[in-house]
Structure 1
Amino acid sequence: MNELLLSVIIPAYNCERTIIQAIRSAGTFNNRNVEIIVVDNGSTDHTKELVKKEAQNKANIIYVESKNGVSNARNKGIELARAKWITFLDSDDTFTTLNEHELEKVLLNSDSDLLIYNYLVGNSRINLYSMTKDKIKKVSVIMQMLENPTKYLTVWGKFYRTAVIKENSISFNNALKYSEDSEFLIRYLLNCKQIEFNKHYFYKYNLTENSTVRTYNFQLAKEYEKAIVQIKSDLEKHPIYKHSFSIFVLMQVNLIMVHGAFAKENTNNGLYQLKVICNKDYVHEALDFISLKDIKRVRLIPILLCKYRLYGLASVIYKLRIFYNNQKMKK
């Protein structure tokens, strides 16, 4: 039997409407060298039955269960993975119809530790390859990724060497509810030697109204803060990333504002919460590392306004961004 080339890990939780589509999209690469590990983490609907039925007479589909939580599910998948490479697929997303032989050729011949592909968000194309092709050194790539977390710091759409994960004991932090994938990826980046970008579109992130990042959660700020503190610790021995980490922190503040403080469902005073967040030590520290020259990053404009205590103007921009996001979702 040939050595397994790829382990596809799919966390599954109450996803009866989408899980089979996800599994079958992974089946695009269905051959003797690929295993699909579906990890149910506490589903109460028919997910379990559907996956077991799909796995009948298909030796490469493995169904297992884990404790609740997506991090526990992914860690279980890593524990069981036997292939040379690992990739992650969320249960409501799909792989594109990338040529199976092209992918197999890349995975067999690449000398890199991390392969990053372009991806789709709904019908929008996110071309990471074109944005990063001039970044040759690992340090410059990591800086680019930290400074653009919503585009780069997702665990999906990438291929990881199983040996790098297991030899460095890299796992998902189950104490984090948000940005746990970013934290995992950052630790992986620090341990890998070479990163490679591929121009093909491999992953499709399907937009849904029920997506957790689109649903207001009053604990959002506290949960993001946990992740920020952990990632700061991860980077402590790498001062070269200090400025990039500061931008990462402020991007997380943007997420807290758009999906928390100024979210429609939030009945509290968004302006007040913005001031509270901006007075946090980790935000103060990040603001000290940026200046007006960073205004070229459009998404930093509202938080730069906060640096100069122009909170009212910043709140207007956040409200406009929420309105724009809602209009996009209706299309």
Structure 2
Amino acid sequence: MVKTFCSQPVEITDVYPDVSVIIAAYNAEHTIGRAIRSALDQDGVSVEVIVVDDKSSDGTTAVARSFSQPNIKVLQLAKNAGPGHARNVAVDAARGRWIAVLDADDEMSPDRLSTMLKRAENAGAVIAVDNIGVIDNGNGKSYQMFPTSRLEELGKITLPMFIASNLVFGSTFNYGYMKPVFRRDFVQDSHLRYDENLRIGEDYLFLASMLASGGECIVEPAAGYSYHVHAGSISRTLKHHHVSSMIEADALFLSRFQFDSQAKSAQARRTRNLEEVRNFLILVDHIKRGSVHNIVKMAFDDPAAFRFLYMPIGVRIKRLIPSFMSRNPFPKHGRTKQQSGV
């Protein structure tokens, strides 16, 4: 049946709404209401909103349950299990023909879902992504994540270009930030799940798995999703054990799917990038602890890890180096160029 999209909110009139908006939430009492309202206020499509509270210690569940609309479902997990598990619970509970992912601290414009569904269904695609409006909560400034002309020219996102875009510290933003809208039956038939072992990077791997399963991903150049940037950046929160988990998850991803030469090449670059980032974060820990032996060992084992010192986190770490050197000077003789460059 061809769905007709109108310009006003549509109530759910049958068991299967057009879109299930899934929100995994953890300690989001100050933002979850805004996210839910933006999902409920969608024009031209029927929606259900599924909030999964990942054992928050604040009032997230209370705020979510304060909404009286019949098309919202709030589930509270018995223990904190991470965003991957929370999203899997939401996907399992979803009834919509399409599923849209929304973070608990973000929001959508009222015409976002109708615009994306029209574009996807006209193209026969099972995945749609769109541009992102970035809102810096620190300074109040806002801007568009990707130039509209770039996404208009792109048209679709393939597996090789998606993998190639997702290099940690490679750029400020990449395609992994895009929040997909995807066909529920496609995910079910392809037996796809979020990786519950990942605390960071589960979104990337899920979309990559959809692409690797043959899903066509269409791009809407307009920005219908608003991404709120907070004080805690990835350079402050990313730890080397997170990256180790990403490397392990990528290895399983490689073993599960068949890749063409372009995707294999892109994945090889990503794997090396993750290894360098992991070693850089280990280096940061060594510098903070003043471990001369381990810093010197890192210089020999993976000197490429030192190149990330140009990043904002690297600038902060460089400030530690003078005091570190005064407490732990290298010997006057025998230093390599890499060691001298630190």
TM-score normalised by structure 2 residue count: 0.72
Equivalent residue in structure 1 for 2:85, among 72, 78, 82 = 72
- Residues 1:14 and 2:4 are matched in the alignment: no
**Counterparts of 1:231-310 in structure 2 under 5 Å?**
231-235=253-257, 237-240=258-261, 241-253=263-275, 255-256=277-278, 261-262=283-284, 266-267=288-289, 272=294
CA offsets 1:103-124 (integer angstroms, 9 cap, x no match)? 4543654411111111133334
Aligned to 2:165: 148
Which ranges in structure 2 are unaligned for 5 or more consecutive residues?
1-12, 136-141, 167-172, 317-342
- Residues 1:43 and 2:56 are matched in the alignment: yes
Conservation of the 8 A alpha-carbon contact between 1:41 and 1:70: yes
CA offsets 1:229-266 (integer angstroms, 9 cap, x no match)? 2233234x324221110122233345436666437994
**Counterparts of 1:1-331 in structure 2 under 5 Å?**
1-2=13-14, 3-29=16-42, 33-54=46-67, 56=68, 58-66=69-77, 67=79, 68-98=81-111, 101-103=114-116, 105-106=118-119, 109-122=122-135, 123-127=142-146, 130-131=149-150, 134=153, 141-149=158-166, 151-154=174-177, 156-210=178-232, 214-215=236-237, 217=239, 219-235=241-257, 237-240=258-261, 241-253=263-275, 255-256=277-278, 261-262=283-284, 266-267=288-289, 272=294, 311=304, 315=306, 317-322=307-312
CA offsets 1:49-74 (integer angstroms, 9 cap, x no match)? 111112x2x01111112352211110
Which ranges in structure 1 are unaligned for 5 or more consecutive residues?
280-305, 327-331
CA offsets 1:4-24 (integer angstroms, 9 cap, x no match)? 111110001111111111111
Distance change in 2, residues 1:269/1:215 (3 Å):
farther
Tell me how large the CA RMSD over aligned residues is.
Answer: 3.4
CA offsets 1:159-192 (integer angstroms, 9 cap, x no match)? 1111110111111121223322222112111223
Distance change in 2, residues 1:133/1:101 (3 Å):
closer
Distance 1:243 1:71 in 2: 27
Number of residue pairs matched by the alignment: 288
TM-score normalised by structure 1 residue count: 0.74
Q: Which has the larger radius of gyration?
A: 2
The one-letter amino acid paired with 2:259 is H
Distance change in 2, residues 1:63/1:170 (3 Å):
same
